[in-house]
Structure 1
Amino acid sequence: MSPLTQILSIDQGTTNSKAVLVADDGTVIARGTAPVSLTLPRPGWVEQDAEEIWASVLQAVGRCLAAGGRAADVRAVALSNQRESVLAWRRSDGAPLGPVIGWQDRRTTEWCTSISTPANATLVQQSTGLPIDAMFSAPKIRWLLELAKQAGTPLADVCVGTVDSWLIWKLTAAAEHLTEAGNASRTLLYDVRRLGWDDTLLDLFDVPRSVLPEVRASNAGFGRVSGVPGLPDGLPVIAVLADSHAALYGQGCTTVGSAKATYGTGSSVMTPTQSLQLGQSAVPSTLAWVTDRPTYAVEGNILSSGAALAWMANILGLGDVAALGPLAEQVHHSGGVTFVPAFSGLGAPHWDRSAVAQLTGMSQATLPAHLARAALEAVAHQVCDVVAAMERSGDLHIDVLRADGGATRSELLMQIQADLLGRPVAVSDLAEVSAIGAALLAWHTLGVGTADRSEELGHRFTPALDADARDRARQSWARAVAGSRGCPDSR
């Protein structure tokens, strides 16, 4: 095999699309990126444009190839993608039938509450591992189908899919309507035990099977590239992973007790489990990937982390989120200020969409630096909540938390994380860990062994806060969260 043979790995995220060329030894040859916009048409609504997402992928791929790669050296394509976001399009011509409804969107919250009877909650949780919540895809699909019906689109002409399905459709020139099992497992329609769409769940969410894509294992092949500018026709799309799952794979977290936290717009804390664990924790079970067998995990989804930092940077009039860290470094504590960024409610382990954002503990002595530090602490506290819930569920103990994502560039945030967690945080030096995780799965599928990436950690942060101070900080956070949720004991 030529040493120049590469995998083109595309990572389509919430705010940008990335493309990297990964050699067979796991090294990155070239990279490219392009932004993707979000629109907020109403409070709680989060939308994107499907064609803009596709255009950003093309732009990222073009920039990657221009940065030093050659299309002639690409052996195959791999894909990772933002999860739970969903869209509908016409089967006949590929035209989108409305917006991409983002994973943060909560327009279906009231409807989800209306169907969340104890029996339905148990049914969904026992089949999918997940709670009935507006973050997941099924309620959004129902909303999109109603929109298509109002527009007079025949049901036979409707395709629905998560972002991986849309990109596969576009990459293969509408030849394939497919999705990957890990992405399917986030829809509330897929039975993670039987590994298939579930008719009872389809009935509950009023989603006809005919609009859904075929589900394939993560490395089962997803068609061939056709008509994509800059890429030769016939390239196989070998591997697909949801982005958080791809980060888990890229971080080398494949054994029980290893865990990663991805700090993005929201955050994902995930750890593999020996078997599927349903109903044992406030942190949901999920399907990480399927190869020769399914690999399960438990995962806590945090709704607002990078988004919380961006909000605080904007409120403080900072030009960039990166400016929060230097500002926060001007003080050694938050001065009693606590920030609960429940803009869309709270995700794991609380799953309380009625929770409201709160900024408490301010006084005349409060400085902008205290607010900046409180925002960093809010991100770290939410991760601590998830880890604590994971460890309460059984024998699991996480010795080291492996971290990736944009916010890990803040050394102060990572030190705060280690301090509040009470254990080391190892930050990956892989800037595109989700894309690399998908590429590594593709190489393994091709029978090419790559270097173990789990030891490629850029810096380890060890706790410097004493246990008493840590306990006081965590108790103060818990009181603030209780107040955010309207709990009477918040005083």
Structure 2
Amino acid sequence: MTEPVLAVDQGTSGTKALVVCPERGVIGTGSAPVRPRHLPGGLVEVDPRELYASVVAAGREALAEAATPVAAVGLANQGETVLAWDPATGEPLTDALVWQDRRAASLCDELAAHADRLRQWTGLPLDPYFAAPKMAWIRRHLTGAGVVTTSDAWLVHRLTGAFVTDTATAGRTGLLDLDTASWSRPALDVYGLGGERLPRVVDSDTPVGTTTAFGPALPLTGLLVDQQAALLAQRVTEPGTAKCTYGTGAFLLAQTGPVPRRGDDGLVSCVAWRLRGRTSYCLDGQVFTAASAVRWLTDLGVLSGPADLDAVGGTVSDSGGVTFVPALAGLAAPWWRGDVRGSLHGLGLDTTAGHLVRALSEGIAAQVVELAGAAAAGLGAPLTALRVDGGLTRSALLMQTQADLLQLPVEVSALPDATALGAAAVARLGHDPSLGVDGAVPEWKPSAVYEPRVGGPEASERLGRFRTAVASLLDGAPGSRLA
């Protein structure tokens, strides 16, 4: 297949669209912002109409810039964001509860006795980060009408009229049987969702319908949740390899192959994708606040934006004894403590903006180190390198800090927008049944490789300060359900 495809990545803070040609690369781009509302009590929501409008606007912009016909469309989505909607009209019945939203925490507390069984069935811990608790909360508190699904099912319905979700996105709900990759009746019953009409679970390379939303009639032939799309685009297709995407949050995924791995390392076991009828699995760990923590410093006036990280952080040689745990939306894997909040330790009258920026970089990187260690434990072998992508990889300060604390090479993707490129790959696979997975995925080539510049003892000392700060947070929190 040599025709270009349109790839749309619908994310938390915006939608990015690319027209990708197998021979010429990216020949058209488009983007549109999305503005979630951050409300007191850990509530994060967005108008679903804004999500759909951003998809259409970004897609049309990319097609206009490319000025060439495309063969198919692929869609990546933000995973755990949910809403209720009317399947007859397509109209939303609620706002969309964004993946960061914590309002279902009390519901998870009620279901704590089922946590171990839910994890065994679905691979996921009992936490409001995932879709099922939010879906159940909507049914209890907002509406019993229509259907309640992840945002991708609504977007696909608006685009094509189909009622489907891909296997990897379904695996982010807490309602998918990890071993069979089909809806789990026991899990549905635990959440009180046993009577729900759920979308059909399809392979990521499945033609699901035709859309005219972007102008010409185009087949929608690829669907994949965002982090798994980035995993595919970075060719993390063999067991033991791993990538981390630095976006609103930071997300580390390690490939485990055709068999799911369940362990006690604090990571999530989930579907990576199902392509050509074959299911592949991964271990998944999350840092809830990465770019969103940078935005927080920006809102405080410490930075003018992410592009300032290196300039401001470069005014000092180290963090000046400041330790920042940027748990501004709670701690995710491997701790799963959404009740805790961030902390700053070691502030003094001599603390500058540069010290805060370096401490934030160390706080993000240290959390990724914990995820990498948990992934290595789950895989039974250490990682040899980490492939990375996402907007924050433009910061040499953060990437060098990551390599220093991880004590491994950090390979920065030469291909920006890895999630959209993964969506392009599954769109090509769905459009051309003769194409193999290897032929659909871009060649891996790093634009930069950051090697550790400090020794193991210094890295351990810096990590030790971070771990002490986390332990202090956990000890001081009022206590919560441990998933």
TM-score normalised to structure 1 length: 0.93
SS of the residue 1:387 aligns to: helix
Q: Show CA shifts across 1:465-489 (max 9, x none).
A: 111111100100100111121269x
One of 148, 156, 167 as aligned partner of 1:168? 156
2:240–2:379 CA contact under 8 A, matched in 1: no
Q: Show CA shifts across 1:359-415 (max 9, x none).
A: 111112211110111111111111001001112234232111000001001011101
Q: Residues 131 and 454 (structure 1 numbering): CA distance in 2 closer, same or farther, change over 3 Å?
A: farther
Displacement, 1:439? 1.0
How many residues are paired up?
471
Listed as ranges, the matches of 1:318-333 within 5 Å are 318-333=303-318
1:26–1:451 CA contact under 8 A, matched in 2: no
1:253–1:454 CA contact under 8 A, matched in 2: no
Displacement, 1:442? 2.4
One of 186, 193, 216 as aligned partner of 2:172? 186
Point out where structure 1 has 5 or more consecutive residues left out of the alignment: none
The aligned residue for residue 67 of structure 1 is: 65
The aligned residue for residue 480 of structure 1 is: 469
SS of the residue 1:232 aligns to: coil
- CA RMSD in angstroms comes to 1.7
Question: Are 1:197 and 2:186 counterparts?
Answer: no
Identical positions, percent: 36
SS of the residue 1:237 aligns to: strand
Displacement, 1:282? 1.4
Displacement, 1:50? 0.4
Paired with 1:465 and 1:454, the residues of 2 have a C-alpha distance of 31
SS of the residue 1:236 aligns to: strand
SS of the residue 1:459 aligns to: strand
Question: Are 1:137 and 2:131 counterparts?
Answer: yes
The aligned residue for residue 287 of structure 1 is: 271
Question: Are 1:96 and 2:92 counterparts?
Answer: yes
Q: Show CA shifts across 1:56-92 (max 9, x none).
A: 111101211221233xx21111111111011111122
Q: Show CA shifts across 1:166-221 (max 9, x none).
A: 1111111xx21111110001101110111111111111111144332111111122
Question: Are 1:80 and 2:76 counterparts?
Answer: yes
Q: Residues 324 and 313 (structure 1 numbering): CA distance in 2 closer, same or farther, change over 3 Å?
A: farther
Listed as ranges, the matches of 1:50-449 within 5 Å are 50-70=48-68, 73-117=69-113, 120-149=114-143, 155=145, 158-172=146-160, 175-225=161-211, 227-228=212-213, 230-233=214-217, 235-274=218-257, 275-291=259-275, 292-445=277-430, 446=432, 447-448=434-435
Listed as ranges, the matches of 1:456-467 within 5 Å are 456-467=445-456
Q: Show CA shifts across 1:1-34 (max 9, x none).
A: 6x5x211111000001011111134711111111
Paired with 1:393 and 1:429, the residues of 2 have a C-alpha distance of 28
TM-score normalised to structure 2 length: 0.94
Q: Show CA shifts across 1:128-168 (max 9, x none).
A: 1110000000111112223453xxx6x4xx12221211111
Q: Give the letter for the 1:75 counterpart.
A: A
Displacement, 1:252? 0.4
SS of the residue 1:455 aligns to: coil
SS of the residue 2:423 aligns to: helix
SS of the residue 1:93 aligns to: coil
